[in-house]
């Protein structure tokens, strides 16, 4: 055996291992950062296992940057301390007073630079402010050697083992990267990953996390890297720490934006939302645009950051204490705040559903003052164990109903008592029952219960039903509490005097209500049906029933099996409709409304052949070239089809327009047929 024979296989393996590492790195970058995978998962797994096998054979050839080394190492007792080569600064927060935070910042920068109002606008970079944990990643000779938390800015903790598990973070950099490079950015958890993690925790009977930020912090500070690896984290880069200086061969950049583009080319994830902006007006527009997108993003941001783009100007501006003068954070209204629970009320809905609602000390959250937060139902209230007197975190994101996220148990007062759902309706005293398999308690009082009567009136009078303009909850409270109105037909028996005698009711307003009531008498069959408030009969079902039967009497008399022939009606809905019209008092209400003059045009039952889309369920996604979302929905429904909000195996077609999102992906995953607008129109014309 020659020396060559002895070493050749080993050097072949070494070359193969290097090649495998490169392929796996490239693919991980395309998968995690660019979101354009080119290798099937199974092939990636095969190459990964091949590399693992070679490394098992040659442990001395394992490199720190090998993709197999993302998850590894033993659980730690504690994290080692790391002194940052360049302190991790904090960032000044600009809050809106009279002027916008962007205008205040721009004015300050111009003043510091000694610019006059006639001098040109300053070039800025505007970025989202990710709601996660600041991290410093250190690369030496283009290999990730250390990841450290911010800590106090001077000294952080070495969390390298955990950070290596984040697929978006390159373990190795290309050859044009400098010998020493520290990048700074935010480690965060996407909202869908957070939900999935909490589902998993719940199933395992383990504690859930309050929000994505806490979940990310828990994962980063997890002493066992194997557990950290199961917590899905993401990363965005936004700046630099120590870097090889230009005179030692390090990179030279003129602007922050240029530097970010280089970081992107080296494999770091840079947000697509990072934009250049000229002067204050473009920063103001950026703040507004990102604010509008905020709830639709897949992750939490708590504001935006403005930075002077020119690195020379940044140097000129310098720092005050620990904050740069060239950057500022402009926060959005907080979506989570602390407040106190003053009481827990139980509200009664139109169908008798009892909902526990926490009454809160007023708190400004998500841009509005919140005084109520739903606790949904008994199980949810128990799970969160919210008690009167508790200090709680309240969350309000976008237009969603505010909710109590969690209780600060260490602030709980000793004598607090657990909430229990009442067994009687808090309004009428009738029994409250929870049917098997249902999450909700319901009041059994029906229209005997004044709360249900009020809700039934409001439901009937709403814009989407017969629409009685001006009949809001305050007026309905007055009318029902004074015993003036008990049933829907009583509305049309209201006289001017009864209305005008109510507290705070001017003659003019009383007349407006009477006029609105008169106007509401001319309605349509779907609006009237929907307004009756039959359980499970929403607008779409009411439309389908009206289209199918043409006349109200036909619906009122239809047996369940005939109702089942309607496109939108399943057994539960059919049963609910039958039960409603089998009750004499409900038929009486309909007759009295008709006697009061409520009327609608009736038609003939729709012939089956005239319903080209009957039995088909559609999901709309993206922007169609000519049809608006509501228009497309109405056309599909008018043709006998159903429109659903999410894609499932039961979906017949997904209609996709520009910028179609995850619904299109799901359709492809499930093999659901995808149509464009032209194909939909063809079907509507009876062409399919």
The set of catalytic residues is: 129
CA 315 to chain CA mean position, Å = 39
**What one-character DSSP code corresponds to residue 31?**
I
Smallest CA-to-CA distance from 82 within 182, 168, 231, 195 is with 182
Instruction: Rank residues 325 and 442 by Cβ distance to ligand 5U1 and give the closer one.
Output: 325
Q: How far is the CB of 184 from ligand 5U1 (least distance, A)?
A: 7
Instruction: Rank residues 270 and 354 by Cβ distance to ligand 5U1 and give the closer one.
Output: 270
Q: How far is the CB of 322 from ligand 5U1 (least distance, A)?
A: 9
The residues pairing with 510 across neighbouring beta strands, listed in sequence order, are: none
Measured between alpha carbons, how far is 610 from 607 in angstroms, rounded to an integer? 5
For ligand 5U1 (CB under 6 A), the number of binding residues is: 11
**Structural tokens at position 233:** 């984290």
Measured between alpha carbons, how far is 93 from 217 in angstroms, rounded to an integer? 22
Instruction: Rank residues 324 and 489 by Cβ distance to ligand 5U1 and give the closer one.
Output: 324
Smallest CA-to-CA distance from 285 within 121, 102, 117 is with 102
Burial of 417 from C-beta contacts in 10 A (0-12 / 13-18 / 19+): exposed
Q: Is 330 in the site for ligand 5U1 (CB under 6 A)?
A: no
Give 83's contacts (C-beta < 8 A, 6+ positions apart). 154, 155
Instruction: Rank residues 129 and 642 by Cβ distance to ligand 5U1 and give the closer one.
Output: 129
User: Would you say 132 and 216 are in contact if contact means Cβ atoms under 8 Å apart?
Assistant: yes
Helix (H), strand (E) at residue 304 = strand 301-308
Nearest-5° Cα angle at 303, 302 to 308:
145
User: Would you say 330 and 101 are in contact if contact means Cβ atoms under 8 Å apart?
Assistant: yes
Measured between alpha carbons, how far is 330 from 340 in angstroms, rounded to an integer? 28
- Please give the residues from 29 up to 58 whose contact with ligand 5U1 meets the rule CB under 6 A: none
Part of the chain binding ligand 5U1 (CB under 6 A), chosen from 86-94, 241-249, 397-405, 656-664: 86-94
Q: How far is the CB of 312 from ligand 5U1 (least distance, A)?
A: 16
Q: How far is the CB of 89 from ligand 5U1 (least distance, A)?
A: 4
Q: Is 675 in the site for ligand 5U1 (CB under 6 A)?
A: no
Alpha helices in 29-64 (DSSP H): 41-57
Nearest-5° Cα angle at 41, 36 to 42:
155
Instruction: Pick left, alpha or beta for residue 577 (phi over 0 → left; psi -120 to 50 → alpha; otherwise beta).
Output: alpha
Part of the chain binding ligand 5U1 (CB under 6 A), chosen from 126-134, 420-428, 482-490, 542-550: 126-134
Q: How far is the CB of 431 from ligand 5U1 (least distance, A)?
A: 56
Helix (H), strand (E) at residue 436 = none
Part of the chain binding ligand 5U1 (CB under 6 A), chosen from 84-92, 159-167, 480-488, 545-553: 84-92
Q: 291-320 mask for ligand 5U1 (x: CB under 6 A)?
A: --------------x---------------
- Which of 14, 91, 210, 311: binder of ligand 5U1 (CB under 6 A)? 91
Q: Is 213 in the site for ligand 5U1 (CB under 6 A)?
A: no
Q: 130-169 mask for ligand 5U1 (x: CB under 6 A)?
A: ----x-----------------------------------
Q: Is 256 in the site for ligand 5U1 (CB under 6 A)?
A: no
Q: How far is the CB of 90 from ligand 5U1 (least distance, A)?
A: 6
Q: Is 127 in the site for ligand 5U1 (CB under 6 A)?
A: yes
Instruction: Rank residues 206 and 321 by Cβ distance to ligand 5U1 and give the closer one.
Output: 321
Instruction: Rank residues 67 and 128 by Cβ distance to ligand 5U1 and give the closer one.
Output: 128
Instruction: Rank residues 327 and 461 by Cβ distance to ligand 5U1 and give the closer one.
Output: 327
Smallest CA-to-CA distance from 94 within 276, 303, 293, 279 is with 303
Measured between alpha carbons, how far is 389 from 413 in angstroms, rounded to an integer? 7
Part of the chain binding ligand 5U1 (CB under 6 A), chosen from 37-45, 87-95, 420-428, 500-508: 87-95
- Which of 21, 70, 129, 376: binder of ligand 5U1 (CB under 6 A)? 129
**Structural tokens at position 258:** 């240029």
**Structural tokens at position 6:** 């002895």
Tell me which residue has tokens 């989570």.
336
- Which of 32, 139, 209, 238: binder of ligand 5U1 (CB under 6 A)? 238
Tell me which residue has tokens 């969160």.
384
Q: Residue 648, Cβ neighbours under 10 Å: how many? A: 11
- Which of 67, 101, 132, 239: binder of ligand 5U1 (CB under 6 A)? 239
Report in angstroms the alpha-carbon separations of 103 from 95, 148, 274.
Answer: 11, 34, 19
Instruction: Rank residues 89 and 484 by Cβ distance to ligand 5U1 and give the closer one.
Output: 89
Q: How far is the CB of 297 from ligand 5U1 (least distance, A)?
A: 14
- Phi, psi angle pair for 551, to nearest 5°: -125, 145
DSSP SS3 for 341: strand
Part of the chain binding ligand 5U1 (CB under 6 A), chosen from 89-97, 227-235, 249-257, 486-494: 89-97
677-684 vs 629-638: helix axis angle to the nearest 10? 30
- Which of 61, 76, 89, 494: binder of ligand 5U1 (CB under 6 A)? 89
Q: 604-643 mask for ligand 5U1 (x: CB under 6 A)?
A: ----------------------------------------
User: Would you say 662 and 622 are in contact if contact means Cβ atoms under 8 Å apart?
Assistant: no
Instruction: Rank residues 284 and 598 by Cβ distance to ligand 5U1 and give the closer one.
Output: 284
Q: How far is the CB of 323 from ligand 5U1 (least distance, A)?
A: 8
Instruction: Rank residues 324 and 657 by Cβ distance to ligand 5U1 and give the closer one.
Output: 324
Q: How many CA atoms lie within 13 A of 202 on its CB side?
A: 10
Q: Is 324 in the site for ligand 5U1 (CB under 6 A)?
A: yes
Q: Is 327 in the site for ligand 5U1 (CB under 6 A)?
A: yes
Give 497's contacts (C-beta < 8 A, 6+ positions apart). none
Part of the chain binding ligand 5U1 (CB under 6 A), chosen from 88-96, 385-393, 457-465, 664-672: 88-96
Measured between alpha carbons, how far is 375 from 419 in angstroms, rounded to an integer? 11
Q: How far is the CB of 284 from ligand 5U1 (least distance, A)?
A: 18
DSSP SS3 for 250: coil
Residues that bind ligand 5U1 (CB under 6 A): 89-91, 127, 129, 134, 238-239, 305, 324, 327
């Amino acid at each position: 055996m020659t020396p060559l024979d002895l070493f050749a296989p080993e050097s072949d393996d070494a070359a193969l291992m290097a090649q495998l590492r490169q392929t796996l790195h490239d693919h991980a970058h395309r998968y995690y950062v660019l979101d354009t995978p080119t290798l099937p998962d199974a092939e990636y797994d095969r190459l990964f296992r091949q590399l693992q096998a070679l490394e098992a054979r040659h442990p001395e050839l394992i490199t720190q940057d090998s993709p197999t080394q993302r998850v590894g190492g033993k659980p730690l007792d504690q994290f080692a301390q790391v002194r940052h080569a360049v302190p991790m600064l904090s960032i000044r927060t600009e809050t809106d007073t009279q002027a916008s935070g962007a205008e205040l910042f721009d004015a300050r920068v111009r003043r510091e630079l000694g610019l006059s109002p006639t001098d040109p606008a300053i070039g800025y970079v505007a970025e989202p402010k990710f709601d996660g944990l600041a991290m410093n990643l250190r690369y030496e000779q283009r290999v990730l050697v250390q990841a450290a938390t911010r800590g106090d800015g001077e000294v952080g903790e070495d969390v390298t083992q955990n950070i290596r598990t984040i697929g978006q973070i390159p373990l190795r950099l290309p050859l044009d990267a400098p010998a020493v490079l520290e990048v700074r950015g935010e480690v965060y958890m996407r909202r869908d990953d957070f939900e999935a993690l909490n589902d998993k925790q719940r199933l395992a009977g383990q504690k859930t996390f309050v929000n994505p930020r806490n979940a990310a912090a828990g994962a980063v500070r997890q002493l066992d890297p194997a557990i950290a690896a199961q917590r899905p984290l993401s990363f965005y880069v936004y700046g630099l720490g120590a870097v090889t200086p230009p005179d030692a061969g390090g990179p030279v950049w003129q602007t922050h934006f240029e530097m970010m583009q280089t970081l992107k080319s080296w494999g770091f994830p840079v947000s697509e939302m990072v934009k250049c902006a000229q002067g204050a007006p473009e920063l103001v527009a950026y703040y507004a645009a990102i604010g509008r997108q905020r709830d639709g993003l897949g992750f939490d941001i708590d504001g935006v950051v403005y930075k002077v783009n020119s690195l020379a100007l940044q140097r000129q501006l310098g720092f005050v204490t620990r904050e740069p003068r060239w950057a500022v954070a402009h926060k959005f209204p907080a979506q989570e705040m602390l407040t106190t629970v003053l009481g827990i009320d139980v509200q009664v809905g139109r169908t008798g559903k009892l909902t526990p609602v926490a009454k809160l000390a007023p708190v400004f959250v998500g841009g509005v003052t919140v005084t109520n937060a739903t606790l949904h139902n008994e199980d949810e209230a128990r799970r969160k164990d919210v008690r009167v007197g508790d200090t709680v975190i309240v969350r309000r994101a976008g237009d969603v109903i505010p909710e109590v996220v969690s209780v600060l148990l260490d602030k709980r007062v000793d004598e607090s008592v657990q909430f229990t759902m009442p067994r009687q309706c808090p309004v009428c005293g009738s029994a409250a029952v929870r049917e098997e398999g249902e999450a909700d308690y319901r009041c059994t009082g029906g229209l005997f219960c004044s709360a249900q009567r009020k809700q039934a009136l409001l439901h009937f009078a709403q814009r989407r039903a017969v629409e009685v303009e001006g009949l809001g909850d305050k007026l309905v409270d007055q009318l029902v509490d004074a015993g003036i109105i008990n049933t829907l037909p009583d509305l049309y028996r209201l006289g001017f005097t009864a209305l005008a005698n109510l507290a705070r009711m001017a003659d003019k307003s009383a007349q407006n209500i009477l006029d609105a009531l008169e106007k509401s008498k001319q309605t349509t069959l779907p609006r009237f049906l929907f307004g009756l408030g039959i359980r499970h009969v929403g607008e779409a079902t009411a439309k389908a029933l009206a289209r199918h039967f043409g006349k109200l009497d036909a619906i009122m008399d239809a047996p369940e099996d005939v109702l089942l022939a309607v496109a939108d009606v399943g057994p539960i809905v059919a049963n609910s409709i039958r039960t409603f019209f089998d009750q004499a008092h409900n038929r009486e209400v309909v007759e009295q409304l008709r006697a009061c003059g409520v009327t609608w045009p009736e038609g003939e039952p729709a012939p089956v052949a005239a319903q080209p889309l009957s039995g088909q369920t559609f999901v709309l996604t993206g922007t169609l070239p000519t049809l608006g979302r509501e228009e497309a929905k109405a056309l599909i429904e008018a043709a006998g089809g159903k429109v659903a909000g999410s894609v499932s195996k039961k979906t017949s077609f997904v209609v996709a327009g520009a910028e179609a999102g995850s619904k299109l992906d799901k359709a492809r995953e499930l093999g659901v047929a995808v149509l464009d607008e032209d194909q939909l129109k063809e079907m509507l014309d009876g062409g399919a």
